[in-house]
Amino acid sequence: MRVATWNVNSLRVRGPQVLDWLAANPVDIIGLQETKLADADFPVADFEAAGYQVLFSGQKTYNGVAVAFRERAFTTRATALPGSDDPQKRVLCVADDDLCFLNLYIPNGSEVGSDKYAYKLDWLNRLQAYVGELRQQYRQLIVVGDFNIAPDDRDVHDPDEWRGKVLFSEPEKQAFRDLTALGLIDCYRLFEQPAADFSWWDYRANGFKRNRGLRIDHILASQALARQCVGCHIDKAPRGLERPSDHAPVVAEFEP
DNA sequence: ATGGCGGCTGAGAGCCGA
């Protein structure tokens, strides 16, 4: 089983790239973020023609998450954190009898100390409780998405430049550690990885060409699944295409 | 140092992202 996560920054713009990528990289499950589409506008037929079923929770203009999958009986279990009436569509939990797949677009936080940063930390706090519940319910749990957190110095092109800033502040990194402390493993770090290997680069100032990036897109797996993980990598190729998303897909492979 | 770019809406310029 191969799974992926990709913040596409508008599925309307990136739809062809996503379908091309899936044709070349036929993963079994992919979580997409920032689709920026109302549900009525989701290109269901395009995914079905490519051999994928799709579940989604979107809104106009902002946010929006989707899960495309093959040969599974996933149904939607949640489109928000429990007890939340948040209009921002950032959560899609799908599951079948064996596996729970939680796709997240965690808030960006804008700037340390801002209202959006407080919203992000509160959101992470509520996520912690929710993932704790899922952990009890599912032996096989995968949590993917745009976390908007670089967990470690290795995940930042210039840690000293970023220290204390949003995406790399201590409370955010602590929230990431708290999630992993629930029994979730960062699949990427199970393996030896290239130095300066990132999943996001700013569009501005030639961020990608200069490799001024961050690793903020993650695939976490419960221990039972992590034991079966045989590889995890970031596919930088789509970031080099014309009109790319600012994020690259991350892929993890599991063997029974 | 501040702004870079790109997508969105709605038909401007401003919001938002990370």
What value does the mean pLDDT take over residues A144-168? 97
Query: Measuring CA to CA, which residue among A125, A119, A111, A117 is closest to residue A88?
Result: A119
Strand B bases contacted by the protein (CB, 7 Å): 3-9, 16-18
Please report residues contacting nucleic strand B, using a CB cutoff of 7 A. Answer: A 7, 9-10, 12-13, 34, 36, 60-62, 107-108, 110-111, 116, 146, 148, 166-167, 200, 202-205, 214, 216, 243, 246-247
pTM confidence score: 0.98
Residue A84: its pLDDT value, please? 84
SS (H, E, C) A120-137: HHHHHHHHHHHHHHHHHH
What value does the mean pLDDT take over residues A30-59? 98
Q: How far apart are CA A88 and CA A58, in angstroms?
A: 9
pLDDT tens digits, one per residue of A187-223: 999 999 999 999 999 999 999 999 999 999 999 999 9
DSSP character for A159?
H
Q: Kindly state the percentage of chain A with pLDDT values over 70.
A: 100
Alpha-carbon torsion A39, A42, A44, A50, what sign?
negative
The answer to the question of whether A41 is labelled as a binding residue is: no
Residue A85: its pLDDT value, please? 81
Active-site annotation of A, residues: 105, 146, 247
What value does the mean pLDDT take over residues A59-65? 97
Owner of token pair 């030896």: A192
Per-residue confidence band for A178, with pLDDT thresholds at 50, 70 and 90 = very high
CA of A111 to C1' of B8 (A): 21
